[in-house]
């Protein structure tokens, strides 16, 4: 089979996958909602890490830019991995852990300093950073609850995952024949 024929067959498999997804409107909506949440989440995290950098620059804090970039990339990768549109709903359980970690970070700061006046006495960038830092665990907790508690959402995630597994198997079979 030539490369062109292989691409045509792969396109046929992709078209079949899209038809199956479109034929089940609930699963299709589910996948689209998760894609939208993923996009909004990535934009929020990019803004958060950008504001974190600017906030600490505004108070002349010594920061390791490389560490901040790695932390940002890891955070965004983790977020997108745990909310894959056709991924297993059980991966979303990690949002509970992430929410707990971020909340513990806030509590730890409070326990060390006794209050949050540092954020509110050093300019607006730190205030915005603090507000976003408080929003992250709340949003992660709400997202985790929405993805894992309603049985309907877990079933839709399972259906989307099954469609995706079928698509991947078809592509593997096609490629193995080549």
Domain positions in the chain are 3-167
Short-list 115, 128, 106, 148, CA closest to 50: 128
Task: Give the other-Cβ count within 10 Å of 79's Cβ.
Answer: 20
Output the 3-class SS for 29-98: HHHHHHHHHHHHHHHHHHHHHHHHHHHHHHCCCCCCHHHHHHHHHHHHHHHHHHCCCCCCHHHHHHHHHH
Give me the chain's average pLDDT, please: 90
Provide the pLDDT confidence category of residue 86 given band limits of 50, 70 and 90.
confident
| 42 vs 84, residue with greater confidence | 42
3-class SS of residue 71:
helix
CB 144 within 8 A of CB 95: yes
- Model confidence at 6: pLDDT above 70: yes
- The predicted-structure confidence for 146-164, as pLDDT tens digits, reads as follows 999 999 999 999 999 999 9
- Model confidence at 1: pLDDT above 70: no
- The predicted-structure confidence for 12-35, as pLDDT tens digits, reads as follows 989 999 999 899 999 999 999 999
- Model confidence at 178: pLDDT above 80: no
3-class SS of residue 85:
coil
d(CA 60, CA 116): 18
The whole-model pTM stands at 0.84
């Amino acid at each position: 089979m030539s490369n062109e024929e292989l691409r045509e067959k792969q396109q046929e498999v992709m078209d079949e996958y899209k038809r199956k997804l479109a034929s089940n409107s609930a699963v299709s909506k589910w996948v689209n909602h998760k894609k939208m949440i993923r996009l909004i989440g990535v934009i929020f995290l990019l803004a958060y890490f950008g504001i974190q950098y600017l906030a600490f620059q505004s108070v002349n804090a010594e920061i390791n830019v490389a560490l901040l970039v790695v932390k940002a990339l890891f955070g965004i990768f983790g977020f997108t991995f745990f909310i894959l549109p056709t991924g297993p709903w059980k991966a979303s359980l990690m949002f509970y852990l992430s929410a707990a970690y971020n909340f513990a970070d806030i509590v730890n700061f409070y326990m060390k300093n006794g209050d949050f006046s540092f954020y509110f006495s050093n300019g607006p960038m730190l205030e915005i950073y603090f507000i976003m830092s408080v929003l992250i665990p709340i949003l992660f907790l709400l997202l985790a609850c929405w993805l894992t508690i309603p049985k309907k959402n877990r079933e839709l995630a399972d259906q989307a995952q099954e469609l995706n597994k079928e698509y991947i198997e078809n592509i593997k079979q096609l490629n193995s024949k080549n």
